[in-house]
Structure 1
Amino acid sequence: MKSSSRSVLQNRNVENRPIPSEYFLGGDSKKHSEDNRKQHTASSSSTSNADLITNHLDETTTATAAASKTPQRQWTINDFEIGAPLGRGRFGHVYCVREKKSKYIVALKAIIKDQISTPRLAKQLISEISIQSRLKHPNILRLYGFFHDEQRIFLLLEYAPGGELYRRMQKEKILKETEAAGYVYQLCNALSYLHSKQIIHRDIKPENILIGIYGILKLADFGWSAESTEANKRTTLCGTLDYLAPEMLNGHGYDEKIDLWCLGVFTYEMIVGKPPFDSPTQQDTIRLIRTIDLSFPPNISQHARDLISQLIRRNPQDRMPLNEVIQHQWIVTNANIKAIDENYEKINRSTSINHKDDKDSAYSFMIFFLIFFIQIVITILQFFGVANLGCGFILMVKLFSSGGSKIIVGIIVMIVTLSFGIVAAADGLLLIKINPTNMGF
């Protein structure tokens, strides 16, 4: 997957470079450039823009407390144990953290105030927080709360242990139609919920879709989302070039049907391995989008072609509505709807305030920590020149069978393996919880 054309509005490629120290929690967020006067001017502007956001957050907290007639917990960074970085966004970085008192795992997005350089960015972030904080659906990543200090704004987000779907697609190249249909079914459910609240996402793509517990799809990143009605259509050009609909490129007003176009492009990319209008240049991509020059590899099923073709249509009114998409033959034939709906029920049970058994979520995180542990074991085995875990176990057998001092090395590897496994399992079963119903949210 490329791409140069995809980067015209948002760079798809994730650069493999060190994270600047000012982004780390507790790091120095006051680094000065060589030109102190320019830095001071930019910092002053960023501070005023950040104040717009923090004032909004404070007002929201006060209003929420007044409406609920209960005091709202005031979070600080000291309430959390900071884990590994999960990724980076436009304004900051995301970390896996655990709330010290309840032991619940959440994702913490740390936004450096100095990165908010314009009023437009401030208003965009306010809109993102305002929209996402009031959404509650199993296929939408929850925003549980927020707080801030002098240098940073923090967002408490639902943790999705499966990470970005895009990473999976990079590894697998293409997804089986059975798996892709399940994701489309879930994304339709998320979009139906959004559209019922007159919200459009405007930036559907694999990078903005995460995988939660039980493999549940989570639509994330509401930075470009907006409220839209028939009487108030949007005109902003935003999103990712490969996914832009003709009406947006042409500067026409658009509504929630723009998400249907993106749904078709997303479906195509999952099962083909690249976006339908992928081209070497931006100009070629725009031309293909405007002419709807759509073609399919021979291995794509007829049902998949039919669904995608009914979503990727020039006239928004001609695009298949979501309620018909989930009933399409491709979805019905390929998606394991029963299993998905059962996972929805598991989510509902585990997030219920009256739910008394957290074993499901604890077990999921036990698996997560075991996966993390396996990575550690692989690193140990690679010390011996081993490329993968399977070969590692072969190495252990050879060490035991070789006799002499190599038996001792084999025993050490085995003890390390068992020790990490026991610790990870215990931590997962006893401490790790994913649904923060007791954190005051």
Structure 2
Amino acid sequence: MAAPPGRRERLRALRRGGLLGLETLLDLLVGLAGGLRHRYRYRDTGNNGNGSESERHVRDFLSWVEPVAAQVQELQLQRSDFEILKVIGRGAFSEVAVVRMKESGQIYAMKIMNKWDMLRRGEVSCFREEREVLARGDQRWITRLHFAFQDPQCLYLVMEYYVGGDLLTLLSKFGDRLPLAMARFYLAELVMAIDSIHRLGYVHRWAWGWGHMGGHMGT
């Protein structure tokens, strides 16, 4: 039987930012505080603070956790930390914009997803899966995820911005017909990218040209 992971291994797993990484744990703390506050503090204003023993314990916990959660929210990234330069894509419940981080001046691509549109369309699981693939995927083929955060209205994924455009843009430059050597090169890259997603346990629904991005060197 394999020995349980040691403390250092557990800390490294947290730093890697997987599904139970530090950012996720902080989000859970903020969500728990907000959910408990809504349920226990405001559901019955007529009991003058009286209630069952378990409810009193919850209120005691809230009095401790709310200041911590508020401080976490102040320190976490917010939409106002970025300047939107240009919207480069729109979908059914999301849009992608080129943004500049105000503090560093770094340029990123930000995907903005409306929570209520996602709930109405039943697409919440798609966000979780997309975030996991971006966080865990092979960065040779999968866009690098720099930050993920949320506010009451939207979910945000802040990713590497690839200035080379997508495969459809490249195709248009060659009259929709790539030279054979170039076609082989990009098809091989697509196969490797899709295989890396399969290795994570996911099957891609489609692999159209606008999903294949290029950097400043064209790859």
* TM-score (normalizing by structure 1): 0.32
State the one-letter code of the partner of 2:23.
Answer: T
CA drift at 1:163: 1.9
Confirm or deny: 8 A CA contact 1:133 1:145 kept in the other structure: no
Provide the rounded CA distance (Å) in 2 between the counterparts of 1:82 and 1:119: 26
CA drift at 1:97: 0.8
Aligned to 1:191: 194
Confirm or deny: 8 A CA contact 1:137 1:190 kept in the other structure: no
- How does 1:32-43 map onto structure 2 within 5 Å? none
Pick from 204, 212, 217: which aligns with 1:214?
217
CA drift at 1:76: 0.7
CA change 1:118–1:183 in 2 (3 A) is same
Pick from 152, 156, 165: which aligns with 2:167?
165
CA drift at 1:117: 4.0
- In the TM superposition, what whole-angstrom CA distance separates every residue of 1:282-322 from its partner, at most 9, and x where no partner exists? xxxxxxxxxxxxxxxxxxxxxxxxxxxxxxxxxxxxxxxxx
Aligned to 2:182: 179
Confirm or deny: 8 A CA contact 2:133 2:200 kept in the other structure: no
RMSD after superposition: 3.0
Confirm or deny: 8 A CA contact 2:101 2:107 kept in the other structure: yes
- In the TM superposition, what whole-angstrom CA distance separates every residue of 1:224-267 from its partner, at most 9, and x where no partner exists? xxxxxxxxxxxxxxxxxxxxxxxxxxxxxxxxxxxxxxxxxxxx
CA drift at 1:205: 1.4
CA change 1:121–1:152 in 2 (3 A) is same
Q: Which has the higher contact order (CA 8 A, sep 6+)?
A: 1
Provide the rounded CA distance (Å) in 2 between the counterparts of 1:62 and 1:136: 20
Pick from 186, 205, 222: which aligns with 2:208?
205
Provide the rounded CA distance (Å) in 1 between the counterparts of 2:83 and 2:210: 26
Q: Which has the larger radius of gyration?
A: 1
CA drift at 1:141: 1.2
State the one-letter code of the partner of 2:110.
Answer: L
Report the secondary structure of 1:199's partner residue: coil
Provide the rounded CA distance (Å) in 2 between the counterparts of 1:210 and 1:163: 6
CA change 1:175–1:133 in 2 (3 A) is same
Structure 1 residue ranges without an equivalent (≥5): 1-56, 217-441
Pick from 123, 128, 144: which aligns with 2:125?
123
Aligned to 1:94: 96
CA drift at 1:85: 1.1
Report the secondary structure of 2:122's partner residue: helix
Report the secondary structure of 1:201's partner residue: coil
- How does 1:34-433 map onto structure 2 within 5 Å? 61-63=23-25, 74-118=76-120, 120-171=122-173, 172-216=175-219
CA change 1:62–1:205 in 2 (3 A) is closer
Confirm or deny: 8 A CA contact 1:141 1:158 kept in the other structure: yes
Give the ranges of 4+ consecutive aligned residues of structure 1 lying more than 6 Å apart after TM superposition.
57-60
- In the TM superposition, what whole-angstrom CA distance separates every residue of 1:117-168 from its partner, at most 9, and x where no partner exists? 4363112222222232221322211222211222222110111112221233
CA drift at 1:215: 0.9
Provide the rounded CA distance (Å) in 1 between the counterparts of 2:83 and 2:24: 26
Q: Judging by fraction of residues, say which structure has more helix.
A: 1
- In the TM superposition, what whole-angstrom CA distance separates every residue of 1:316-373 from its partner, at most 9, and x where no partner exists? xxxxxxxxxxxxxxxxxxxxxxxxxxxxxxxxxxxxxxxxxxxxxxxxxxxxxxxxxx
Report the secondary structure of 1:186's partner residue: helix
* TM-score (normalizing by structure 2): 0.61
Count residues in correspondence: 156
Structure 2 residue ranges without an equivalent (≥5): 1-18, 29-71
Report the secondary structure of 2:155's partner residue: strand
